[in-house]
Amino acid sequence: MLAQRLSLRFSVVAVLIGGLAVATLSVTAVQVIGGYRRLRQPGQRLHLAGAIALALAGGWLAMSINRPDIDDSIYVPKAVYYVAHPDAPIDTSVNWLAGLERTPNSGVFPYYELTQAALAWLGGVPYLAVYHVLFPGIVGFLMCAAAIVLIGAFETRPRTILLCSVFYLLLLLALGETHRAYGNLSIARAFHGKYMFLSVGVPAWIYFSLRYLRQPQPRSWLILTAVGVGMAAATPTAMVFLPFLALTLALAVHVQESRAFASPAAWWPALRYGASLAPVVLMAIAFRFYAVDNIAAGSQINAGFPKSFADQLRLIVNPDYPLTPLLFVASLALVLALSPYRRFFATWVATLCILLLNPWVSHLVMLHLTTENIYWRMFYLLPFPLLAALALAPLANAGRRGPLWAGLCVIAAGLAATIGPTSVLRHDNGATLALPGYKIGAADRICAQQLVQRAAPGSMLAPVEIASNVLLLSSRFPQYVVREDYLGLMMSTVPARISFQQRQDAAAYLYRNAATPEAENAFRATIAAANGPAHVLVRADADRHAVIAAQLDAAGYRRAFAVAGGYELFSRIPRPHP
């Protein structure tokens, strides 16, 4: 934010970020080495080695799962631009949309992606090598590490902690029953800042909150403040999420550990704890001014999301394979029956169900707090899949046969993770498991790479699925058509000779065989415009290919080359200067 206010060059900010990264790694290394040296028993070091191995496995899986997501076309282009233009000033301009009379500005500053861009530029590597490979590996490692230490806050036996953590990781791979199920939002999308927050930031916040609320210390408070600021910078979701999570945790710890519910002395630590969120609250207030005017409930960017509680719940629950609700209910019942922390988790779940997660208040919450495209994420305020991992602990600790039954549960989770009908890795989930690489579909990647490598820099009209991937690879090809809701949001703030509807109609004519006069006229007007696209991608097998080619020829375009995936690129012949 300060860099934006001062209009600092990206290269300057990158050096500062690099210095902070080196300092952070150095401090972390000193802490880890010191902690290792304090381990006196061989068994302790063995358990630490097991924890590190599990976290490394999580990092490898996060790097290796390829499940492309169109959200990248919103988060990545500005970072790619910075890597290619290190002297550019830090700002919020959206400079990858073509044919606009003025450059629009985003209301969300890309702190997370800016950090990645800085590391990519300093390291001399492509941005996607950091975004799709390095950071998912780091997030996957931290995801498992955070789960291990959080499980350790409720369980003391090292072997049980490791077993529950293995179960947790396997559950992440098994929970892929819908696009927004926890597994698909964590280990399969570790490259997005909002899901880094969900899978790393939330467990870390819970762990340090428990440390502070159980034994208040300034160090824990400062860590909480830093985590809050970092997560709110990574995603606006944290601005809504963390205050409710903090309130719930403070109440749950109080109910668990204090019998005097209204004791002022008992609530002072909770009030000090809440003060750690002051920067997050200020960031939320500042963001709300933008959100109310641009992305409020009922706005275009929320149009595709349901408005009812039941339909929001269906975004994460598959009625054919309701693994998430079944696991949640079963594990909650086991924890309430067998865990010494039953009051804590009962309060946690009850508080959220009363305040947020019920059909009587959901509309008000969507209207005034979250909007329709955020509300479903509030279900992940519930302690899941943490509850499922903790429910395994009493079984693992139950006499001679308990570990055997716990082991069978882990095996069952492993089968569900690899061959189950809800597995994140299954083919119809759009995911593949391979060596770490860019998280782009193979066919789309080949097509986009050919365009980037062979076409001259210039604006482009291409199908959304191709345009989105071109933006991930290069900043030299601003696009006329991108994801519909985002394009509509950005174009609503600036004038353009080629309107939003004209772009949509032209794309429908080219790529969806729309035969209406409106669609054809929109296409003709687009390619005839003085600020029309420099390149037009056409399907070689389109029903009206000959007609489209003739229209392009009449508008001054010539066939440039064939493109993988059954496309042809037509490029505008440069017009001579008068």
Q: Is the pLDDT of residue 575 over 70?
A: no
Q: Which tokens in the block code for residue 518? A: 């409106």
pLDDT band at 299 (very low <50, low <70, confident <90, very high): confident
Geometric angle at alpha carbon 304, from 298 and 305, rounded to 5° = 75
**Tens digits of per-residue pLDDT, 470-527?**
999 999 999 999 999 899 999 988 999 899 999 999 999 999 988 899 999 999 999 9
pTM for this predicted structure: 0.93
What digits encode the pLDDT tens for the residues 104-131? 998 888 889 999 999 999 999 999 999 9
CA–CA gap between residue 406 and residue 398 (Å, rounded)? 9
- The pLDDT, as a whole number, for residue 570 is 97
Average pLDDT over residues 329-341: 95
Mean pLDDT of all residues belonging to the chain: 92
Q: Are 436 and 133 in contact (CB under 8 A)?
A: yes
On the question of pLDDT at 3 being above 80, the answer is no
Q: Where are the domains of the chain?
A: 442-572
pLDDT score of 542 more than 90 = no
Residue 349 CA to residue 245 CA, distance in Å, equals 11
For Cα atoms 363, 364, 367, give the angle at the middle one, nearest 5 degrees.
Answer: 85
Banded pLDDT at 265 (limits 50, 70, 90): low
What is the structure's pLDDT at 224? 96
Q: Is 201 left (phi over 0), alpha (psi -120 to 50) or beta?
A: alpha
Q: Which of 282, 290, 325, 312 is nearest to 175 (CA)?
A: 325
pLDDT of residue 110: 84
CA dist., res. 522 & res. 510, Å (int)? 10
pLDDT at 262 over 60: no
Closest CA to 496 of 103, 96, 94, 99: 99
Q: Which CATH number fits domain 442-572: 2.40.50, 3.30.70, 3.90.70, 3.40.50?
A: 3.40.50
Q: How confident is the model at residue 378 (pLDDT cuts 50, 70, 90)?
A: very high
CA nearest 377: which of 245, 490, 488? 245
Q: What value does the mean pLDDT take over residues 44-64?
A: 93
Question: Does 259 have pLDDT greater than 80?
Answer: no
Q: According to the model, what pLDDT value does residue 70 have? A: 93
Q: CB neighbours (10 Å) of residue 180?
A: 16
Residue 496: which H helix or E strand, with range? none
Higher pLDDT, 258 or 534: 534
Within 397-499, where are the H helices?
A: 402-419, 442-454, 464-473, 484-491
Q: What is the pLDDT of residue 290?
A: 79
User: In the prediction, which pLDDT does 371 show?
Assistant: 86
The β-bridge partners of 93 are 105
397 versus 360: the higher-pLDDT residue is: 360
Q: For residue 258, is pLDDT > 80?
A: no
Tell me what the mean pLDDT of segment 214-237 comes to: 93
What's the pLDDT tens digit per position in 83-103? 999 999 999 999 999 999 999
**Residue 535: strand, helix, or coil:** strand
d(CA 48, CA 158): 9
Residue in the block written with tokens 């953590």: 165
38 pLDDT tier (thresholds 50, 70, 90): confident
List the strands of the sheet with 567-572, edge to edge: 460-461, 535-539, 567-572, 557-563
Instruction: Tell me what the mean pLDDT of segment 42-66 comes to.
Output: 92
The single-letter DSSP state of residue 559 is E
pLDDT value at residue 402: 82
Q: Number of C-alpha atoms within 13 angstroms, CB side, residue 108?
A: 23
93, containing H or E segment: none
- pLDDT tens readout for residues 560-570: 999 999 999 99
pLDDT band at 401 (very low <50, low <70, confident <90, very high): confident
Mean pLDDT confidence for 442-459: 95
Enumerate the β-bridge partners of residue 105: 93
Report yes or no: 82 and 133 within 8 Å, Cβ to Cβ: no
Q: What is the pLDDT of residue 286?
A: 86
Q: Which of 205, 181, 199, 211 is nearest to 420 (CA)?
A: 181
Total Cβ atoms within 10 A of residue 289 = 10
Report pLDDT for 411. 96
CA separation for the pair 413, 416 (Å, rounded):
5
Alpha helices in 323-401, H assignment, sequence order: 323-338, 342-355, 362-365, 372-375, 386-396
Residue 392 carries which side chain, given as an amino acid letter?
Answer: L
